[in-house]
Amino acid sequence: MKQTFKEIIDTSLTLGTFPVSSKVFALGREAENIANLAQGKIDEDGEFATIHCSNIVNWMNEIAEQAQAVLDLQMKKGEEVSK
């Protein structure tokens, strides 16, 4: 995730958007962690893990990208409201 949790806390988010932003952030971080674990298995176990884990890496990275896109929208919305 390109944002940190501290950045979410420091942003002036409107009422109700902080819980959504924090959950989306948690979802994206979890997806990144799973992708990293799967990539580690590929690196460690080679050919046999590659077939199985490469799909997991792709799926989790896609989830993390979608979570980041939602978080970007929430952060932008919060910045516009605070102006």
Q: What pLDDT is stored for residue 28 in this prediction?
A: 85
The SS3 of residue 63 is: helix
Q: For 18-51, how does the pLDDT look when each residue is reduced to its tens digit (9 = 90+)? A: 777 778 888 888 888 888 888 888 888 777 777 7
Token pair for 47: 């050919």
Residue 72 binned pLDDT confidence (cut-offs 50, 70, 90): confident
- What whole-number distance in Å separates Cα of residue 60 and Cα of residue 74? 21
